[in-house]
Amino acid sequence: MIEFQIKTSRNPMREAEHQADPDAANFGEVFTDSMITLRWDEKRGWHDGRLEEYQDIALPPAALVFHYGQEIFEGMKAYRQRDGSIALFRPECNAARFNASARRLAMPELPVETFVRAVELLVKQDRRWVPGGDDNSLYLRPFMIATQPTLEFTLPARSYLFCVIASPAPAYFSTETGPSALSVWLSEEYTRAAPGGTGAAKAGGNYAGAFLGQREAMDQGCDQVVWLDAAEHTWVEEMSGMNLCFVRQSRDGGAPTLMTPALTGTLLPGVTRDSLLTLARRLGLGCEEGRISAEQWREQCEAGLITEVFACGTAAVIVPVGRARGVSGGWTIGDGRPGPVTMRLRAELLGIQHGRIPDESRWLHHVC
């Protein structure tokens, strides 16, 4: 059993400052009082676990992460429940994905129970930082970096640091009246991930490679970039930090189908994506993990077959997509505004996460 020593205390001044104006900071700019650290080396395995004060990390400039980018992370949230208690959402899924990312990046795996306990300890310690309110939560960012000081590039690092930090999160893309629809840019020049690469891992390098596409999207007047497959530049994969879902009407007047690009190995297996497939089935929608080209996306919107598109992820929850554009022009999805299926799924998911709707799948993990 890996132990964590407790070396932190509450800082009521900082809490009070944050609670006085919780919306003062953008997503991921304010951090709670504490953090988790845990080290690994070849001799001792995982050791020196601590719950300590949030602070800078001292590393030698030669630490391998700075040169070869050996880093992975997770995104998860703690939710204030109606009775004031706090719960995590499917934390064991994040732990399993963290280990899948670790395997792909040749890093040591962390026992699932240690990952979950580390997150629980931090949330319990900093529980006063978990905001109330419909779309608010405490965003948790577990990550692991290679710390061995070496420029040698034959084998992965022989020492690592695992950390968890936490940041009170207002709704990522929402306005006071709910989420506004995004406009997206289909990147035809750059790609995010290729078969056999690291696209399915939550590795920092995937996100670093996405910045240029995101900047191109913004230069084109769009909010977010959509990545196409690397081989044919045809098939829609995902956005930089979110999966995509398409609501397709049935031709015979039956229930619509929720279609999301299949996990081909080049896109991230989102926990939100997976949860929505279950919820959609429960709400009587058809579900399909398939594929769609940019051209089919446009044609099916123009034919009134695809009526809604949304992006989903832990940070973003569910965000409607109202318009798509690529080098050969753009099109509107439905009437360009958040659609009923999108908003129903969003209400259902947030309702479960905040304990307002029964948790039939037992996804909530109660912490304190």
Binding site for ligand COI (CB under 6 A): 75, 241, 313-316
Which CB atom, from 173 or from 235, has the smaller least distance to ligand COI? Answer: 173
Which CB atom, from 108 or from 204, has the smaller least distance to ligand COI? Answer: 204
Minimum gap (Å) between residue 154 Cβ and ligand COI: 31
Minimum gap (Å) between residue 296 Cβ and ligand COI: 26
The residue type of 173 is F
Which CB atom, from 34 or from 214, has the smaller least distance to ligand COI? Answer: 214
Residue whose beta carbon is closest to ligand COI: 75
Give 92: exposed, middle or buried? Use CB within 10 Å, 0-12, 13-18, 19+.
Answer: middle
Measured in whole angstroms, the distance separating CA 214 from the mean position of its chain's CA atoms is 16
Which CB atom, from 71 or from 306, has the smaller least distance to ligand COI? Answer: 71
Partners of residue 49 on adjacent β-strands: 4
Cα separation, 130 vs 139, in Å, equals: 9
DSSP 112: H
Minimum gap (Å) between residue 241 Cβ and ligand COI: 3
DSSP 284: T
Minimum gap (Å) between residue 268 Cβ and ligand COI: 9
Minimum gap (Å) between residue 140 Cβ and ligand COI: 9
Q: Can you list the alpha helix ranges (DSSP code H) found in the chain?
A: 12-20, 64-68, 91-104, 112-125, 204-208, 211-219, 271-282, 294-302, 340-353
Maximum CA extent, the chain: 64
Which CB atom, from 311 or from 333, has the smaller least distance to ligand COI? Answer: 311
Which CB atom, from 238 or from 308, has the smaller least distance to ligand COI? Answer: 238
Minimum gap (Å) between residue 94 Cβ and ligand COI: 9
Cα separation, 196 vs 294, in Å, equals: 23
Cα separation, 152 vs 149, in Å, equals: 9
